[in-house]
Amino acid sequence: MKYFSLLIVLFSCLNLFAQPNCEAYKYNGDTLKYKACEKAMKIKGHYQFSKEYQTILDEAIEIDPTFDYAYWAKSIAYLKSGDFVTWKKLIDKAVEYNPKEHLGYRGWCRYQFFRDYKGAIKDIEKLDSLVDYDIGQSQNGTYHLNIAKGLCYKAIGEKKKAIEIIQKQIQLNEEEKFLGTYDYLHLGVLYFETEKFEKAIDLFQKQSKTNELAENQYYLSLAYRKLDKISQYEASLVKSKELYIQDKKMSDPYSNPMDKIYLENIENEIKQHTIMK
Amino acid sequence: MKKNFILLSILLFSILWSCQTEKKVPEKQEYLRWVGDIEQNDKVDTSDFKICNGDDNILQYFNLGKGPVYKDEKLKILHTFNSKYKSTRGSNENGLIRIRFIVNCEGKTGRFRVLQSDYNYQEKEFDKEIITQLLSITKEIEQWEVLYKNETPVDYYMYLIFKISDGQLTEILP
């Protein structure tokens, strides 16, 4: 849980990190980009969706049509309103002019907003091939980009590959003491789905210690049931419902995370178990 | 004949001139209040749908910090579409369809708009049967979650994105 809090604090500052340093362009002798950057900074105080914000960025692009930041900043409102056509045109421009800066972001958004698994994999792998440093976290800080990539492989049916990727990244995250909020849970679910129930339980227990969730107890209960550990199955199922009602469940401001469950799933499982008794 | 020639010359000149000027002066994009705002269009929108707090105060669903919200959770929406949507047999239609609309302060919906693209995000037109079905099922959902700001019920934009593979509905977002 402490790592989760750390992530929240870190990524709430993301907007600060995302702002370009206009002076750096000036220092490097790129006067045009410096002027475009200075213009773009006037968006401060305007809402991403607003006419003013978009118009200022259009003017920045008019000054320097290769200024990647302006395309990226413009694209956000289109992304959040689900306009995948305009978003893609804008973010493609940002990627074209600064691939190292925007490929990871585009890949993540393809997954988070549009469940474009193959597109996300392609972008994340492309970024990985371009840089010799850690490719970093998703924009919202929930995952290391490799975990997101693993989830995309799972979604296209390559579960073995997904397990390898996620397992490897979790190991690195543990060494760095920088675990994602749902890392263990996702790996546990993958083990559960590939019928490695003991391993799955081990992962769910780890998730319980870092960030307990209704989903975690739900999948834990299913794993116990597979192993005929009925009392543990019942206890986890009850706990799952309690956690769900307390709002301790997977969430995302813009989408429903992979492996998320709903109250109806828990209640159906309880109902089914009651009938079978 | 001479008159026709002069007229034709004027026409050709004006076409060439308009092309040139279009290139020289790029058209500036006009924006509404917010990106994606949907104005009432009496030709397609019903008149009985009312915005409670005025068009200038319509929010986005995520502005209230609750994430994508659905009455009785998303699972109900999934059940609704899974039971009502009939995939077009033998169809090779693929891509994304977004239906965006406004939920008013009473949880009622209106001003539906459709956006369509292939999986490369290029705009395309799906088979009308697919669009008509998705649109009518969306419109049939009677009640959406009422969102509040400072205890006042608000109007907000919501959307559903449908992933279509070979005519089958494979995912619903967000």
DSSP B125-141: ---HHHHHHHHHHHHH-
Which residues have a Cβ under 8 Å from the Cβ of A97 and sit 6 or more positions away? A66, A67, A68, A71
Name the residue of chain B whose CA is nearest to A112's CA: B174
- Residue keyed to tokens 């597109």: A119
pLDDT at A63: 98
pLDDT at A1: 44
pLDDT at A215: 98
Weakest mean pLDDT among A141-155, A223-237, B13-27, B33-47: B13-27
pLDDT at B91: 84
- Residue keyed to tokens 């290029």: B122
> Which residues of chain A lie closer than 8 angstroms to B28, CB-CB?
58
For range A51-63, the mean pLDDT: 98
Residue type, B114: V
| A232-239: long-range contacts, CB 8 A cutoff, minimum separation 24 | A233/A273, A234/A273, A237/A266, A237/A269, A237/A270, A237/A273
Q: What percent of chain B has pLDDT over 70?
A: 84
- Residue keyed to tokens 């490097």: A28
Q: What is the ipTM of this complex?
A: 0.91
Is residue B122 within 8 A of residue B96, CB to CB? The reply is no
pLDDT at B122: 98
Q: What percent of chain A has pLDDT over 90?
A: 91
* B124, pLDDT greater than 90: yes
For range A240-266, the mean pLDDT: 97
Average pLDDT, chain B: 88
Count other C-beta atoms under 10 Å from residue A9's C-beta: 10
Which pLDDT band holds residue B2 (cuts at 50, 70, 90)? low
* B168, pLDDT greater than 80: yes
For range B121-135, the mean pLDDT: 97
- A158 contact B CB<8A: no
pLDDT at B17: 43
pLDDT at B88: 80
Domain segments of chain A as ranges? 18-97, 181-276
- Residue keyed to tokens 């907007």: A15
pTM (2 d.p.): 0.90
> Which residues of chain A lie closer than 8 angstroms to B67, CB-CB?
251-256
A30 Cα to chain B: minimum distance (Å): 24
- Selected from 2.60.120.380, 3.10.105.10, 1.25.40.10, 3.40.50.12780, the CATH number assigned to the domain covering A181-276 reads 1.25.40.10
A112 Cα to chain B: minimum distance (Å): 9
> Which residues of chain A lie closer than 8 angstroms to B33, CB-CB?
50-51
Phi, psi of B58 (to 5 degrees): -75, 130
Q: Using the beta-carbon criterion (under 8 Å), do A262 and B75 form an inter-chain contact?
A: yes
DSSP assignment letter at B152: E
Average pLDDT, chain A: 94
For range B69-81, the mean pLDDT: 94
* A79, pLDDT greater than 50: yes
